Structure 1
Amino acid sequence: MSGFDVLTRGDVLDAALQARDYLVSCGVPAALAAKDPRLWGRRAVDHGRLGWLDLPFASRGLLDQIEGLVAEIRYTGLDHIVLIGLGAESLAAKAIMAGGPAASRLTVLDGGDTAVLGRALERLDRTLVVLSSKSGVSLEGDAYRRIFSEAFRSLGMSEQEIAGRFLVITDHGSPLHEYAKQSAFRIGLTDPNLPGHFSALSAYGLVPAVLAGADAHTLLDEAATLLPSLSKDDDNPGLLLGAILGGCAQRGADGRPQDKVILHEPPGGGPLSAWITHLLACATGRQGRGLLAFEPPGGPGPIPDAHTLEINPREGPSEADTSVWAPLGAQFLLWQYAAAVAGWLMGVNPFEPAGAVAREIEDDAVTMLRAAGQGPLPDQRPAYVDGDIEIHADFVWPGGVGRADLPMTLEALVEGVPWDGYLSVSSFVTGGFTGREPAPGLARRSGRPVTYGTGPAHLHATGPVHLDGPGTGAFLIVSGDPPADDPLAVEPVAGRPYSLARLRLARAIAETRALRRRGLPVVRLHLRDPVEGARRLSEVAGTAAWA
């Protein structure tokens, strides 16, 4: 695919055309193309925050710079790239590699299932580890780095050889930059002014994918082909997409804001949709506003305050309100431009750093682990226990009952969803449980959309809109004991007094506490038997009647 287009219809079209006319009358396309930061106020945005508009050409120099590294790792047989990172640092690279012939050569570790870590360690002799973060290394990143360092030592490698197996991608002058220098790791530096959620075509998205075998030159060519149209008042797909997103968030059907987007990405969702969800949440989720995207099966059907959008529809008419056609490189630039425009319409600065929420939760988890030592973590006493499922909640159940089981708990959570709200399911359970499984049942029961994913990556990617956005979410956090046959989960991390399973539980508790501090309805279920508990949770969520 070489062309690009955005088509919309119905009530969405009416809202979008009004918003587009307003954008043109205010000179937004020309000002944005000129990287004029005054669009968001005289001091609100630094000029450097708009550097993502230059990346289709500026990143060509980056590709030239890493040619030697690519040749070296190919010569030495390092054909497996492990990428350690959360949010933008991993989602763009995932999208670039998805479905391609070299997809298996990139493994992303974002704090999820230890099974993925186990498979990566099986290819240790062929592995280069990429640590990617705009600031310091995350709690999970530190644990993974230690695990891989110990694994390399077990192969008899020297400290110098181990250092050569790590590449750090970070901002110039960041804490991770200083650590990488002290450790003698390979280092790739990026522009600290570039917002993390606008970095898909920077080193964060491109370098891990190129090392794994992706063709980044074609991606940049695709983005560069789109760039000239983004300065126009007419025939500007980025302007229209931004007008759709921002215009609907201001006024949708029947005058009701449509601040939710149901994404369809044939054949059934994928990494690009996950990256778009992250971008929109981080760009707009603040000051009580925000756009939240959902993937099927998270939608129960037509939703008055949501509009549907299909990415690269296949042949035949699309049933979605909006259709977006573009090759991947152009998709990245198109959505970034649209997110900036939507943020302007919504009255928020889309380039503000989105890491404050993530740091708050991570700092809480770190404090928790240090204070507990070898003892129990806080907030581990359940309100009720139903079989092997612990129920951690602090709200009143329907009918004011003295005890509650799993069906009643889910019923109470659903009843806590506002009429314009949504549900979010985050899984901190190993064994392949992603939160997708109970989503259709919860969507049917609540009549509201459901977003889902594995923690901590899921809430890290969408946290700004949950915690600083409209405040209309209800949350299900699922943690669990490690399976008996998962030694990677229970073995202590080298140099740390905790295992990956304990770290994951601390993260789940910290996520729950952050949501409760903001007065949001949240339930944490802890599965003592993760396999059977996940099966039962999905079964109960899909039952037509819970009571």
Structure 2
Amino acid sequence: MNPLKELEKFGQAPWLDNLGRGLVRSGDLARLVQEEGIKGVTSNPAIFEKSMGHTNEYDDEIRSLLDAGKAEIGLIFNSLAITDIKAACDVLRPVYDATKKADGFVSMECNPYLALDTEATLVEARHLWKEIGRENAMIKVPATHEGIPAIQTLLSEGININVTLLFSQEMYKKVALAYIAGLEGLPKDYDLSTVSSVASFFVSRIDAKIDALLAKKAAEATGDEKARIEALAGKTAIANAKLAYVAYEEIFSGPRWEALAKRGARPQRLLWASTGVKSKAYPDTLYVDTLIGDNTVNTMPPATVEAFRDHGKPAADTIKADVEGAHAVLAALPGLGIDLDAITTKLVEEGVELFAVAADNLFGAIAGKCDEITGKKLRISWSLAGNEEAVTAAQKAWTKAGNIRKVWAKDTTIWARADEDKWLGWLDAPTKAKGHQASLEAFQAKVKAGSWSDVVLLGMGGSSLGAEVLREVLVPGTKFHILDSTDPDEVQTLDKNIAIATTLFIVASKSGSTLEPNLFKDYYFDRVAQAVGKNKAASHFVAITDPGSSLEKDATAEGFSAIFPGEKSIGGRYSVLSNFGLVAAAAMGVNIDAFIKEALAAEAACGPLSPPPTNPGAQIGIALGTLALRGRDKLTVLASKGLSSFGAWLEQLVAESTGKLGKGIIPFDGEPVGSASAYGEDRVFVVLKLKGEEAHDNLVGALKPLGHPVIEVEVDGPYQLARLFYIFEIATAVAGSFLGINPFDQPDVEAAKVKARALMEAGGAKDSEKPVFARNGISVYADPANAKALAGAETLEDCLAAHFKRVGAGDYIALVAFIERNAAHTADFDAMRAALRDKTGAAVGLGFGPRFLHSTGQGYKGGPASGVFLQVTCKHVHDVAVPGRGYTFGAVIDAQAAGDLAVLTERGRRAIRVHLDTVDEGLKTLARAVEAALK
């Protein structure tokens, strides 16, 4: 006889603890059922991980799901797993029928992450039960304190439950009573024979814990005492199980149970789990031979199935043998200082953690499989320069704590416990975009049919920076313009490059109250009205704004051709994958379908079930956060030509999100490349590369041996820009957690706005103080505190030398210019940046105002006080009036510059202002003076 099949004689059902597609489709499972007497199957994340992540059994289905746009890891897993569970249920259905619904079950586990959440467990279990749709399915729910009420409720709904992670007799009794209470909760006319449950009582893990303690005790003992202790090895788990069976017989007897039995109820069977031995010192069939009992189940891994079939020793009621000895074994433990209750409690906690780890590995393996199948992925490589151990430890801690799931659950505890939960609408922005893709494509067709000569986006910060990257990366050379400066020269430059009568204007402002877009709208609405008539002007305008904003009201009243809603739970800098980026993308001719598909792929890769080891956004964020805490808080962007514009968007995201409360990661984009030795030890380099392009490879290669951390990110094609946007949004939110700040507010941006508004109300900014230096059309201004540092300076070079002498280790320099942003001016400043960096070793940033005020300006004012600032303003030779406002663009930008400087100096920042009467000539002079001052 086959020992495995003989178990049936003694009332025990052997189940297989293994499930995979190959097992079912090959016919092996059917053979085990028909020939070997297997009567049930259990699955778990660790089992699925082996088959889904490390075989090709699922490749075709994964490919089909990905092709259908279903890239979310949890969705893919459920689709694959439920297919397998259904198929296994069908194989076991004959057993279910032959035993009149007493056996033939296949178990699927609830999401292990929900083990400590009653309500979430209920939702998950009901969903799985419905999706599987098989009477002989069982849903696995762990026997945690939170799981017990869920178990009772689910049973009262007629759902079959496999209660898992049972270690203690007391918890088993609670589970058994919950089973009875669940059956009692069903209607009086309900056929209770259709409801089944098993209580999975874990065995070998107990011996693994106890035996280790016994070995220590034995090592300290001698003689008979040593022998007595050694004799207890390998006995505790079996003794514990025997006494659980005693409790089973007591609970499922008596009047209460008999009343249910008369209605067809079956006892909840004890299922012996974890029956593969952990120690080679024990027979490999130990936990089968000794635990045979009527109406029980033994779920065995394949190796144990094979071993028992080969040399198992089936016998009747071995579970009842020597119950007194079992009591004696457990009674001996307290005298040795071993607390079994404490150990079983710890085992439940560890079990929950181990199941979560197994789930992490499973979902990570699926993510890796998705990348392997598509062949298109974002590739990240690392050189962490001695910080590997710290970053790895942080990654492990985030994985163990389930912090990515907390991000998606909008749990504020991982940040500053403020209102972060109200600003996480961007997490599923790609999914939402897919939902209204048709409207975006319809708008795109309308723009194309309108035969506009130009399209102009009027915005600021998050409303414009993303669109600028989209244009430069995906449709360079298009007649799509962006205005995000109040500098009158920049306004006039735009005027010269567009045909007003045939231009479409997109006014973008989340709040609708942002000063700059409103001024731009007033100015161009007036110009369009003059060109085509007031009654036709509104047809040239489109608005993107949050519902209920003043811009929405004005656009509605004036009859704009379209109004696209923003989402209040998405802040400006996180809005590029919402309408604020997508409407602009549609207008400039981006392939919306291709772009959204890439965004969806990133959302899936960074989703709640993608653990840090395989979650690209989490990986980068954990690294940046860890490095910042270790002094590497200057993020330097190096990009290949095709992605060169991305850094400006990233600057805003990182600086405005992390720079506050005296903390922050200060980003630097576009800094001229120098020799590797020119960079200070406070840097971390993020290298962005479009496949096939060079991204300062020689410099990157030289930085690594010098101990600079380098994070390299390569994408396959331009449309994977969508992935970069999303991944760095996740990364920035994660990095913010390490700094303990709210990465979604921008308090110091508001401070500068208040100052500028007050100056405008007072008649505009005026140079009321005497300059520290003035000659040849260049003046230097400083508040009293900063003027002290310039004492004795007689030339422009002296002023600059004294100012930059204050740069120390760990400091950075920021050149902030309230002048027109163009290629010539940028080149002059870049010469200064290179000279300053090479002389001081400090990172040197460049921002054009007021654009940078909505970007790095937050980090400059709210972040660490390590910045040394040089503000540059100019005289406006050709100013431009703002219709209906009573002031000019020049007055606005002057007020913004003054407001910014005032906040910097109030915060104790080292800052001076250089004013140029003539911009082009003055900048050349300033550049020469900087170079001379550094000699």
1:464 to partner: Cα distance: 1.9
Check the 8 A contact 1:422/1:474 in 2, yes or no. yes
Q: Offset at 1:107?
A: 0.9
Give the Cα separation in 1 of the matches to 2:754 and 2:449: 41
Moved more, 515-524 or 167-176: 167-176
Question: In the alignment, is the contact (CA less than 8 A) between 2:790 and 2:803 conserved in 1?
Answer: no
Of 507, 510, 513 in structure 2, the residue corresponding to residue 134 of structure 1 is 510
- Does the aligned pair in 1 maintain the 2:475–2:588 contact within 8 Å? no
User: Could you tell me which of 458, 461, 470 is aligned with 1:87?
Assistant: 461
Give the equivalent residue in structure 2 for 1:510. Answer: 899
How much has 1:43 moved relative to structure 2? 5.7
Aligned to 2:610: 232
Instruction: Determine whether 1:213 maps to 2:589.
Output: yes
RMSD between superposed Cα atoms in Å: 2.5
In the other structure, the counterpart of 2:733 is 340
Deviation, 1:225, is 1.7
Q: Which of residues 831, 846, 859 is equivalent to 1:452?
A: 846
Correspondence for 2:541: 166
Picking from 328, 343, 366, the partner of 2:757 is 366
Whether 1:78 and 2:455 are equivalent positions in the alignment is no
Secondary structure of the equivalent of 1:519? coil
- Superposed counterparts of 1:522-541, under 5 Å: 522-541=911-930
Question: Alpha-carbon deviation of 1:102?
Answer: 5.2
Distance 1:179 1:3, change over 3 A: same
Please name the residue that 1:272 is paired with: 646
Aligned to 2:319: none
Tell me which protein shows more helix as a share of its residues: 2
Q: Which amino acid aligns with 1:530?
A: V
Check 1:183–1:512 CA distance in 2 against 1; reply closer, same or farther (3 A cut): same
Distance 1:379 1:365 in 2: 16
| CA gap 1:510/1:200 in 2 versus in 1, 3 angstroms | same
- 2:673 & 2:486 partners in 1: Cα distance? 24
> In 1, Cα distance between the equivalents of 2:417 and 2:737?
14
Aligned to 2:555: 180
- Contact preservation (8 Å) 2:647, 2:670: no
Using the TM superposition, name which of 501-510 and 136-145 deviates more.
136-145
What is the one-letter code of the residue matched to 2:885? R
- Indicate how the Cα distance of structure 1 residues 522 and 45 shifts in structure 2: closer, same or farther if over 3 A, else same: same
Partner of 1:60: 434
Which residue number corresponds to residue 815 of structure 2?
425
Q: Shift in Å at residue 365 of structure 1?
A: 2.0
In the alignment, the residues of structure 2 paired with residue 436 and residue 137 of structure 1 have an alpha-carbon distance, to the nearest angstrom, of 34
TM-score by length of 2: 0.54
Taking the aligned partners of 1:157 and 1:287, their CA distance within structure 2 comes to: 50
Task: Please state if 1:49 is matched with 2:423.
Answer: yes
Query: Offset at 1:79?
Result: 4.6
Q: 1:460 to 1:79 in 2, by over 3 A?
A: same
| 1:397 shift after superposition | 5.6
Provide Cα deviations, 1:268-306, integer angstroms capped at 9, x if missing partner: 973211111111112211121111111243576221111
Aligned partner of 2:521 in structure 1 is: 145
Query: 1:464, 1:197 → 2: CA distance?
Result: 12
Q: How big is the shift at 1:545? A: 4.1
Residue matched to 2:801: 411
In the alignment, structure 2 segments of 5+ residues that lack a partner are 1-374, 704-709
Distance of 1:453 and 1:42 partners within structure 2: 32
CA distance in 1, matches of 2:483, 2:413: 38
- Which residue of 2 is the match for residue 443 of structure 1? 837
Q: Which residue of 2 aligns with 1:242?
A: 621
Q: Relative to structure 1, is the Cα distance of residues 41 and 141 closer, same or farther in structure 2, using a 3 angstrom cutoff?
A: closer
Rounded Cα–Cα distance in structure 2 between residues aligned with 1:457 and 1:399: 29
The question of 1:473 aligning with 2:847 is answered: no
Give the Cα–Cα distance (whole angstroms) in 1 for the partners of residues 790 and 904 of structure 2: 25
- Matched to 2:635, the amino acid is V
Does the 8 A contact of 1:479 with 1:527 survive in 2? yes
In the aligned structure 2, how far is the partner of 1:60 from the partner of 1:430? 38
> 1:42 deviation in Å?
6.0
The whole-number CA distance in structure 1 between the counterparts of 2:658 and 2:680 is 21
The question of whether the paired residues in 2 share the 8 Å contact of 1:445 and 1:544 is answered with no
Q: Does residue 766 of structure 2 align to residue 387 of structure 1?
A: no
For the structure 1 residues 340 and 451, does the alpha-carbon distance in structure 2 shift closer, same or farther, using more than 3 Å as the test? same
Letter of the 1:518 partner, please give it.
R
Aligned 8 A contact 1:262 1:299 in 2 = no
Q: CA deviation at 1:57?
A: 1.6
1:15 to 353, 374, 390: 390
Asked whether the 8 Å contact 2:487–2:890 carries over to 1, the reply is: no
Q: Distance in 2 between matches of 1:42 and 1:450?
A: 33
Counterpart of 1:232 in structure 2: which amino acid? S
- On the 8 A contact 2:490/2:821 being kept in 1, the answer is no
* Partner Cα distance (2:853, 2:672) in 1: 16
Structure 1 SS opposite 2:614:
coil
**Aligned positions, number:** 529
1:227 to partner: Cα distance: 2.8
Q: Secondary structure at the match of 1:304?
A: coil
Q: Which amino acid in the other structure matches residue 610 of structure 2?
A: K
Q: Which amino acid aligns with 1:213?
A: G
Deviations 1:403-462 (A, max 9, x none): 532112211221233421111111112373244342112222322111102101113211
Deviations 1:144-177 (A, max 9, x none): 2222122112214223x21121212111122333
The AA in structure 1 aligned to 2:711 is T
Deviation at 1:116, TM superposition (A): 4.6
Residue in structure 2 matched with residue 97 of structure 1 by the alignment: 471
Alignment match, 2:176: none
Quote the sequence identity (%): 26
Q: 1:399 to 1:515 in 2, by over 3 A?
A: closer
State the distance in 2 between where 1:382 and 1:130 align: 41
**Offset, 1:115:** 5.0
- Corresponding residue for residue 254 of structure 1: none
Quote the Cα distance in structure 1 between the aligned partners of 2:524 and 2:563: 18
Query: How much has 1:6 moved relative to structure 2?
Result: 1.6
The counterpart of 1:194, out of the listed 570, 573, 576, is: 570
Q: Does 1:311 align with 2:311?
A: no
- Kindly indicate whether the alpha-carbon contact (under 8 Å) linking 2:753 and 2:899 is maintained by their aligned counterparts in 1: yes
Residue 473 of structure 1: CA displacement? 0.7
